[in-house]
Copies of this chain bind each other. A is one copy, B any other.
Amino acid sequence: MRVIELHKSVTASNDADAQALREKLSAEGKLLINIMSAAGSGKTTLLMRIITDLKEKVRIGVIEADIDATVDAERIEALGAKSIQAHTDGMCHMDAGMTANALAELRREEAEKTSAGLSERRYEDTDLFFLENVGNLICPAEFDTGAHLNVMLLSVPEGDDKPLKYPLMFRASDALVITKTDALPYFDFDTEKCRKRALALNPKIRIFPVSAKTGEGMDALEAWILSAIPAAERE
């Protein structure tokens, strides 16, 4: 696992950078999914579950973006997935340039390890990348990272009123994963109300209620993810 320090992209044309990165990844047969949520909604735990469930089917790489710390990348590496910890230099979001830099660094590190005989994994073989964005329900929604899909998490303990308060995140996301559904008995969270509020902001949003702890609902989410990977590249 490597830690890199990222700084704000010099280029002002984030949207163009994002589109270029997306097209490059598509041409390579790779899918990049941007995972966003508030701090503590369970992004890392969800990713760990997905990796455990899917690692025999697809080769997964993870960019862990954080202001500081390496705890998340360490948890991911322990599962055998490739990961890189990106530090955002205090910034509250990732942009396309930062994402491209993190992917390039991941590629360079894997090439070094392979040529040194330390690994047989190659960046070229990875099918699916996750970007775990900085824990923040506001700023990350404003920046296109170059991902093919934006997935937001809202955990049951956070409350079903969040679509009312953070509308941009719901509008910017292709899917809403309602996490920690095992905690539903202990919180006043109305899943149906949340669903309606999310759909009012974004009629196309896919909604997946899951518990990464018990596995409930993971099948549907994982099937949706797998179906988005360019088929030609998969074994």
Partner-B contacts on A (CB < 8 A): 38-41, 66-69, 71-72, 90, 92, 134-139, 142, 154-159, 161-162, 164-168, 180, 182-183, 186-187
Separation of A8 and B234 alpha carbons in the complex (Å): 49
Q: Which residues of B sit under 8 angstroms from A135, Cβ to Cβ?
A: 38, 137-138, 165-166
Contacts A40-B155, A134-B138, A157-B40; is A165 near B92 (CB within 8 Å)? no
Separation of A133 and B111 alpha carbons in the complex (Å): 46
Separation of A171 and B135 alpha carbons in the complex (Å): 18
Besides A71-B161, A71-B165, A136-B136, 9 other A-B contacts (C-beta < 8 A): A38-B39, A67-B138, A67-B166, A68-B165, A90-B142, A92-B136, A136-B138, A139-B139, A155-B157
Evaluate contact between B40 and A158: CB separation under 8 angstroms. Answer: yes
Within the complex, the shortest CB–CB distance from A171 to chain B, in Å, comes to 11
Taking the full assembly, how many copies of this chain does it contain?
2
Residue among B40, B164, B168 making CB contact with A159, cutoff 8 Å: B40
Separation of A136 and B93 alpha carbons in the complex (Å): 12
From A142, A165, A182, A183, residue with most partner B Cβ within 10 Å: A165
Separation of A68 and B201 alpha carbons in the complex (Å): 13
Separation of A24 and B13 alpha carbons in the complex (Å): 43
Q: Which residues of B sit under 8 angstroms from A182, Cβ to Cβ?
A: 186
Q: Which residues of B sit under 8 angstroms from A139, Cβ to Cβ?
A: 92, 136, 138-139
Separation of A137 and B134 alpha carbons in the complex (Å): 10
Separation of A186 and B155 alpha carbons in the complex (Å): 14
Separation of A180 and B92 alpha carbons in the complex (Å): 26
* 29 A-B pairs with C-beta separation under 8 A: A38-B38, A38-B40, A38-B135, A39-B137, A39-B158, A39-B166, A40-B41, A40-B154, A40-B158, A41-B158, A66-B165, A67-B138, A67-B168, A68-B165, A69-B164, A71-B164, A72-B165, A92-B92, A92-B136, A134-B138, A135-B166, A136-B137, A136-B138, A139-B139, A155-B157, A157-B157, A157-B183, A182-B186, A183-B187
